[in-house]
Amino acid sequence: MRKKGLVLICLAALIGVICMAGLLVAAEVPDTVTIQEKAFEKFKKGPVTLDHKKHSAEYGVKCDECHHLYKDGKNTWKEGDAVQKCSECHDPKKKNGEAPKLQNAFHSNCKDCHKAKGKGPEKKCGECHAEK
């Protein structure tokens, strides 16, 4: 009898640990990201809020359609890998090899997909940028 109780307690503790680990991993991927990249220094437009969660869970956009790490011209980034800020590789002032300028990197990533899908903001600045 006592042995069974102990097993149950251990089991409950184990499940607890697994759930906590799950929460920790989930917490790293934010539901929304507000983008106002300091690297721009001066802003012509207000910040942009991306519904990160909806894009993945509802609109079916894969993580690696936005996040990448190129090696030999191939995107090798996969879910679980560290995420660097776009500005770590995209310079606000100049193109860096094949990597477009930061503003173009954001605009192409977001707008090209919206255009291709025929859904999501593309031309109207205010559908992405908040008032300044």
Contact positions vs ligand HEC (CB under 6 A):
28-30, 33, 35-37, 40, 43-45, 47-48, 50-52, 54-56, 59, 61, 63, 65-70, 73, 79, 83-90, 98-100, 103, 105-111, 113-114, 117, 119-122, 125, 127-129
> Shortest distance, CB of residue 64 to ligand HEC, whole angstroms?
8
Nearer to ligand HEC, 4 or 44 (CB): 44
Q: Which two tokens stand for residue 51?
A: 């519904």
Task: Please tell me the distance from the alpha carbon of residue 51 to that of residue 30, in angstroms, as a whole number.
Answer: 9
- Rounded to an integer, what is the distance from CA 44 to the centroid of its chain? 23
**CB within 8 A of 13, min separation 6: which ones?**
none
> Shortest distance, CB of residue 20 to ligand HEC, whole angstroms?
18
Nearer to ligand HEC, 2 or 74 (CB): 74
**CB within 8 A of 77, min separation 6: which ones?**
63, 64, 67, 68, 69
Nearer to ligand HEC, 1 or 27 (CB): 27
